[in-house]
Amino acid sequence: MFRVAIEMLLHDKTKYLGLLIGVAFTAFLVSFAMSYFAGFMTRGFALVSENPSAKVWVMDSAVSSAEATINMSNSSLDIVRGVQGVEYASPLYLGDMTARYANGHFQSFQAIGVDNATLSGAPKPANLLRIPNSVIIDSGGTDGKLQTPIEKKDMWAYNGSHLNAVTRKLRYGDTILINSKRVVVAGVSHTIPRFPPRPLLYTSTSNFKRLIPGEKRYITFIMVRPATNIAPEVLAKRISKQTGLKAITSSAFKKETVMWYLINSEDVGDMVNMVVLAMLVGFGVTGVMLYMFTYENIKQYAVLKAMGASIKQLTDMIYTQVFIMAVVGSGIGVGISAIFGESISSASFPFRIMWFAPFIGFLGVFIVSLMAAFISIRPIKKMEPGIVFKL
DSSP states of 94-140: EEEEEEE-TTS-EEEEEEEEE-TTT-TTPPSSGGGGGSTTEEEEE-T
Q: Which of 264, 292, 321 is the last residue of a domain?
A: 264
Q: 206 falls in which pLDDT band (50, 70, 90)?
A: very high
In angstroms, the first-to-last Cα distance of the chain is 26
347 or 66, greater pLDDT:
66
pLDDT tens readout for residues 46-61: 999 999 999 999 999 9
Q: Do 61 and 175 sit in the same domain of this protein?
A: yes
Q: Do 376 and 321 sit in the same domain of this protein?
A: yes
Q: Which of 240, 264, 288 is the last residue of a domain?
A: 264
The SS3 call for residue 182 is strand
Q: Do 151 and 83 sit in the same domain of this protein?
A: yes
**CB burial readout 43-54, b (16+ within 10 A) else e:** bbbbbbeebeeb
Q: Which pLDDT score is estimated for 391?
A: 43
Q: Do 90 and 196 sit in the same domain of this protein?
A: yes
pLDDT tens readout for residues 139-194: 998 888 999 999 989 999 888 889 999 999 999 999 999 999 999 999 999 998 88
What's the predicted TM-score (pTM) here? Answer: 0.79
Q: Which pLDDT score is estimated for 42?
A: 85
Domain count, the chain: 2
Q: Do 101 and 211 sit in the same domain of this protein?
A: yes
**What is the residue range of 34's domain?**
2-43+266-389
Q: 390 falls in which pLDDT band (50, 70, 90)?
A: low
Q: Which pLDDT score is estimated for 76?
A: 94
242 burial type by CB count under 10 A (0-12 exposed, 13-18 middle, 19+ buried) = middle
